[in-house]
C-alpha cells in the first residue's frame, strides 16, 4: 500500500500539511516527531527533520526503516541560482547534488560520492511529472520549472559562493537537505522528489530576503504537496 513520507527541515515547511491531515499517531524517534495519518485519504508520515544534511539523511532512513514509506517528498524553501527563478517561484527536482562534497584530490569529480560512482541523484520521473502538473493546477499564477537542487551544510549568501555552485554543478537552487534525502532514497531504492519554493536569491541580499519571504514560499510548496499526493 502506498505510504508517503513528507519531510520539511523547519516547522513552517510542514505546519500547514500537519494542520490539514488526520493524525492517528505521533511517534518520537531521534528527537524528531513523526505524524502518522492520512492526507486527502492517502497514508502519510509528516516530519520536521531539522536543518542540515545529517538530520535530513537520518530522517529519511527512519521513514524508510521504521515507517516503511513507499515514496518520499521533500518540501521547503531554497535560494535561487537561476536567473529564471525569482522569489516565490517553485522548482521541481530533476536531480540533486552535494555541492560541498570534495575529494577531487583522489581523482573524483567535484560533488561525486566516493566509491558510489555517483554525483547526481535523479528524482523519480513520475513523481516529478505529477508535481509539475499539479503545480500548474494548484498554483497557476506561480512560475514553476524543473531543475537541479544543490545541497550543502551552509546558507548560500554571497555572490562568490553562488557563482561557484552555478559554475561547477549547473544547479538551479541551493539549500541544505535535499541531496541527503535523495542519497538515502537512492540507496534504499525509494522514489523521491524535492519541491522547493524560492525564498531568496542566494546572494548578498539573501540575509534580508529570506526572513521576509520564507513563510509565504513554504506555503506555496506545501499547497502543491497536499494537492499531488493522491495522484502518485
The residues annotated as belonging to the active site are 13, 200
Grid cell digits, residue 150: 544543490
How far is the C-alpha of 198 from the C-alpha of 84, rounded, in Å?
A: 11
Asked whether 53 and 152 are in contact (CB, 8 A), the reply is: yes
CA–CA separation, 210 and 200 (whole Å): 5
For β-strands 192-200 and 71-80, DSSP reports them as parallel
For the CA atoms of 54, 87, 138, 76, the dihedral, rounded to the nearest 10 degrees, stands at 10
Residue 146: strand pairing partners: 92
β-bridge partners, 74: 7, 194
Amino acid at each position: 500500500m502506498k505510504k508517503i513520507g513528507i519531510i520539511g527541515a523547519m516547522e513552517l515547511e510542514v505546519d500547514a500539511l500537519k494542520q490539514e491531515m488526520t493524525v492517528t499517531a505521533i511517534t518520537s524517534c531521534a528527537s524528531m516527531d513523526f505524524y502518522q495519518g492520512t492526507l486527502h485519504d492517502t497514508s502519510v508520515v509528516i516530519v520536521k527533520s531539522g536543518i542540515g544534511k545529517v538530520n535530513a539523511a537520518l530522517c529519511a532512513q527512519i521513514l524508510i526503516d521504521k515507517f516503511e514509506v513507499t515514496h518520499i517528498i521533500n518540501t521547503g524553501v531554497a535560494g535561487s541560482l537561476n536567473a529564471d527563478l525569482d522569489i516565490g517561484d517553485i522548482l521541481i527536482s530533476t536531480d540533486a547534488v552535494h555541492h560541498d562534497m570534495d575529494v577531487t584530490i583522489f581523482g573524483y569529480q567535484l560533488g561525486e560520492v566516493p566509491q558510489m560512482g555517483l554525483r547526481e541523484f535523479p528524482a523519480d520521473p513520475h513523481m516529478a511529472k505529477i508535481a509539475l502538473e499539479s503545480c500548474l493546477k494548484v498554483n497557476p499564477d506561480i512560475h514553476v520549472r524543473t531543475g537541479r537542487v544543490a545541497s550543502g551544510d551552509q546558507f548560500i549568501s554571497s555572490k562568490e559562493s553562488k557563482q561557484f555552485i552555478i559554475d561547477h554543478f549547473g544547479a538551479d537552487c541551493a539549500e541544505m537537505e535535499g541531496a541527503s534525502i535523495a542519497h538515502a532514497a537512492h540507496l534504499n531504492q525509494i522514489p523521491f522528489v524535492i519541491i522547493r519554493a524560492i525564498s531568496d536569491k542566494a546572494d548578498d541580499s539573501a540575509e534580508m530576503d529570506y526572513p521576509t519571504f520564507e513563510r509565504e514560499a513554504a506555503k506555496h510548496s506545501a499547497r502543491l504537496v497536499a494537492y499531488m499526493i493522491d495522484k502518485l
